[in-house]
Chains A and B, each alone.
Chain A
Amino acid sequence: MAVLTIRDALNAALREELARDPDVFLMGEEVAEYQGAYKVTRGLLEEFGPKRVIDTPITELGFAGLGVGAAMAGLRPIVEFMTFNFSILATDQIINSAAKMLYMSGGQVKIPIVFRGPGGSAYQVSSQHSQALESWYAYFPGLKVVMPSTAADAKGLLKSAIRDDDPVIFIEQERMYGMKGEVPDDGDFTIPLGVAEVKREGTDATIVARSLMVPLALKAAEELEKDGVSCEVIDPRTIRPLDIETIVESVKKTNRVVIAEESHPFCGVGAEISTEIQERAFDYLDAPVRRVSGADVPMPYAKSLENLALPGVEQIAAAVREVAYI
């Protein structure tokens, strides 16, 4: 096991998959000569050359669509968005082309493509650069949506995403690139899409958290442990397909659930998980499902306001106490 940052774990996944399959190529803004706006693609141009690691103009709709076209011809593009905020310009190609092509063609045209990059909040970059868009993409049949929270998950899931024959939206968290964790050295280490992981076992309440909320939920669980509340923390890791069984099994054991997310609450992934839980395990619930979400406002700039807009350890812990009636 090596200890890597999430940034370097992603870099290793890209390097290994580029080396493994000549049909894999990487394109995006500043991915090559600049070494990546967040250095996730550092060193790849040097190793694989400009044919495989391609700097694009700032033309998100264009290069996303070009990637989909290349996938139609059998290549396996990895398209980096400098941040997912910019993917909004490319949604026509992601949704109308990539997500629906296999279906519209009666199963003839596969689109093995990964759209990846940082999403969610960063540090004081205000409204247009701090958006959690997973519920948008998870809405569409035909897309898969992945959000890793550890270095090992980042590597194993990205490798699976690149090898997958469907379009995958792979959302990294900008604040998490520097977080470190143990990563298996095995070059063939992958984590299947659609499998949740119990990040901490517990008996009194379940916290379902993804991406940036996972470390916060674990911290909240530590705090609550001191009060004698044992929390189970589940990271779905993949939003679509969603491993609802693992979540429901946990709820049947703990009878209480908090869903933590940095996205807006309205029409969010948390709302979907909450509905699934009440449909499948209503009789097991001892309290209403509680969501802890980002504020339902565009992200403000001021540090003090930004802090207020994001869920923190305290809010997650408070929500657990609420569902545990303590």
Chain B
Amino acid sequence: MANHTTNRQATTDSSSGVAGVIEAPSDSQSKHPGSILDEDRDTLVKLYRQMLLIRRFEEKCAESYNLGKIGGFCHLYIGQEAVGVGAISAIRKDDYVVTSYREHGQAIAKGISPKAVMAELYGKATGCSHGKGGSMHLFDTSLNFLGGHAIVGGQIPLGTGLAFASKYKGTDQVTLCFFGEAAVNQGAFHESLNMAQLWKVPCIYICENNRYGMGTSLERAMSIHDVSQKACAYDIAAEFVDGMDVLAMRQATEHAVKRAREQSLPTLIEARTYRYMGHSMSDPGKYRTRAEVEKYQERDPLKLFRTTLQENDILAENDFARMENEIKGEVEAAVKFAEESPEPDPRELYTDVYANPEGFDFTKSN
């Protein structure tokens, strides 16, 4: 960031006594890089594999979109994989995830099969939202992946409500609520964080700061450039994370999950990341230079983690090649599944409008 790069003030989580120190790293360095020593081999391999799967999946989406197979808006996650993969690796299957319209990667990380995601993008009956949601509205209640929401910031009160429900019911489920840095300018963000700390709900707010709200840089949109600073206003613990470091992301989320599960307290995590592609597939990205994109690509999350894995003898060159091959097959199978799946039955147009449709006569329409 151009300014605000020196010492941060610290917020103290008043109810727990745990200090959530906000440190602003430069764009290339987290104050707390992820530690490989804390992780077992299987976890490390799984994290890399998921990131690679998402990268290849998204590349295939771009291809299919350009072929006219995917309609509407299509917002790709390329460059941001470490954020979703790292964070979601820190929660349980029954924990909730709610997110924005840039959610293919998070859906896969939470466990929705690439087939069901791709079929949804193709608008097929076998899609995870049965072809009714599309790219921006992926759902799977069996995995507590509750959307894909397409009004900027709209999911932030929803995530707060999911966490409220966990506390109300006395479960120890936590909620991960993802959004971009542009959503922080919406009232929904501020209203939610106020209620979250007022009522002490186990919601982890993860701001994926990819530096642009569509074509507007955060410097042109925010009076304060460090999103994590916003937590001070609500006395919420905050973490500032290198979003290109999957282990840093995982470990920061683990701290937040512990705080949420054990003390029922919210956390705001700011993950500094970058999207390599346009805002959506229709965005040529003229608001930034090629050199800027390349600068961030030097710290590509897959490249960084691959180096870490190689240096620590977790995976060797041939392991990576084998993994590439497997994933290529998996993505191709997803496309084949989507291509071959049936369109939704025309009768589905009028289903799912109401859970209890008594009193409605949809046969009259059209």
Residues of A within 8 A of B (CB): 25, 51, 56-57, 59, 61-75, 92-93, 96-97, 101-110, 112, 141-142, 144, 164-166, 192-195, 238, 241, 243
Candidate in B130, B149, B156, B168 with the most chain A CB atoms within 10 angstroms = B168
Assembled-state Cα–Cα distance A93/B151 (Å): 10
Interface membership of B188, Cβ < 8 A: yes
Q: Which listed segment binds A: B37-45, B254-262, B349-357?
A: B349-357
Residue of B132, B161, B360 touching A103 (CB-CB under 8 A): B132
Assembled-state Cα–Cα distance A141/B146 (Å): 21
**Cβ of A66: which chain B residues have Cβ within 8 Å of it?**
157-158, 160-161, 164, 192, 195
Chain B interface residue count, CB cutoff 8 Å, equals 49
3 shortest A-B CB distances, which residue pairs?
Answer: A69-B161, A65-B157, A194-B359
**Cβ of A92: which chain B residues have Cβ within 8 Å of it?**
151, 154, 188
Q: A65-B192, A70-B161, A238-B359 are in contact. List 15 more A-B contacts (CB 8 A).
A: A61-B157, A63-B157, A65-B154, A65-B157, A69-B161, A69-B162, A70-B165, A74-B169, A93-B158, A104-B147, A104-B148, A105-B352, A106-B139, A112-B355, A141-B353
**Cβ of B355: which chain A residues have Cβ within 8 Å of it?**
102, 110, 112, 165-166
Assembled-state Cα–Cα distance A112/B303 (Å): 46
User: Given contacts A57-B195, A62-B191, A241-B359, is CB(A106)–CB(B157) below 8 Å?
Assistant: no
Assembled-state Cα–Cα distance A241/B361 (Å): 9
Contact assessment for B147 and A106 in the assembled complex, using a CB-CB cutoff below 8 Å: no
**Cβ of B140: which chain A residues have Cβ within 8 Å of it?**
108
The proximity string for B residues 303-346 relative to A, scoring 1 for CB distances below 8 Å and 0 otherwise, is: 00000000000000000000000000000000000000000000
Contact assessment for A104 and B359 in the assembled complex, using a CB-CB cutoff below 8 Å: no
**Residue on B nearest A64 in the bound complex, by CB:** B157
**Cβ of A68: which chain B residues have Cβ within 8 Å of it?**
157-158, 161
**Cβ of A75: which chain B residues have Cβ within 8 Å of it?**
165, 168-169
**Cβ of A141: which chain B residues have Cβ within 8 Å of it?**
353
A and B contact pairs by CB, cutoff 8 A, 13 listed: A59-B191, A61-B187, A68-B161, A73-B161, A73-B162, A75-B169, A105-B139, A106-B130, A107-B351, A109-B146, A109-B147, A165-B356, A241-B359
Contact assessment for A73 and B139 in the assembled complex, using a CB-CB cutoff below 8 Å: no
**Residue on B nearest A144 in the bound complex, by CB:** B354
**Cβ of A101: which chain B residues have Cβ within 8 Å of it?**
147
Interface membership of B96, Cβ < 8 A: yes
Assembled-state Cα–Cα distance A307/B101 (Å): 48
Contact assessment for B141 and A105 in the assembled complex, using a CB-CB cutoff below 8 Å: yes
**Cβ of A97: which chain B residues have Cβ within 8 Å of it?**
149, 154, 158
User: Given contacts A97-B154, A106-B139, is CB(A166)–CB(B165) below 8 Å?
Assistant: no
Residue of A56, A59, A104 touching B137 (CB-CB under 8 A): A104
**Cβ of A192: which chain B residues have Cβ within 8 Å of it?**
358-359
Contact assessment for A104 and B139 in the assembled complex, using a CB-CB cutoff below 8 Å: yes
Residues of B within 8 A of A (CB): 96, 98, 127-133, 137, 139-141, 146-151, 154, 156-166, 168-169, 187-188, 191-192, 194-195, 198, 351-356, 358-360
Assembled-state Cα–Cα distance A66/B164 (Å): 8
**Cβ of A102: which chain B residues have Cβ within 8 Å of it?**
352-355
Assembled-state Cα–Cα distance A74/B354 (Å): 16
Contact assessment for A65 and B188 in the assembled complex, using a CB-CB cutoff below 8 Å: yes
Contact assessment for B359 and A243 in the assembled complex, using a CB-CB cutoff below 8 Å: yes
CB distance from A142 to the nearest CB of B (A): 6
Residue of A67, A107, A165 touching B161 (CB-CB under 8 A): A67
**Cβ of A69: which chain B residues have Cβ within 8 Å of it?**
98, 157-165
Residue of B148, B166, B192 touching A73 (CB-CB under 8 A): B166
Assembled-state Cα–Cα distance A72/B149 (Å): 13
CB distance from A249 to the nearest CB of B (A): 15
Assembled-state Cα–Cα distance A78/B353 (Å): 21
Assembled-state Cα–Cα distance A51/B147 (Å): 27
**Cβ of A107: which chain B residues have Cβ within 8 Å of it?**
130, 351-352
Assembled-state Cα–Cα distance A62/B159 (Å): 11
Contact assessment for B194 and A59 in the assembled complex, using a CB-CB cutoff below 8 Å: yes
Assembled-state Cα–Cα distance A195/B129 (Å): 32
Candidate in B133, B169, B187, B354 with the most chain A CB atoms within 10 angstroms = B354
**Cβ of B356: which chain A residues have Cβ within 8 Å of it?**
164-166
CB distance from A2 to the nearest CB of B (A): 29
CB distance from A33 to the nearest CB of B (A): 15
Contact assessment for B165 and A74 in the assembled complex, using a CB-CB cutoff below 8 Å: yes
Assembled-state Cα–Cα distance A71/B352 (Å): 16
**Cβ of A63: which chain B residues have Cβ within 8 Å of it?**
157, 191, 195
Assembled-state Cα–Cα distance A62/B147 (Å): 18
**Residue on A nearest B96 in the bound complex, by CB:** A73
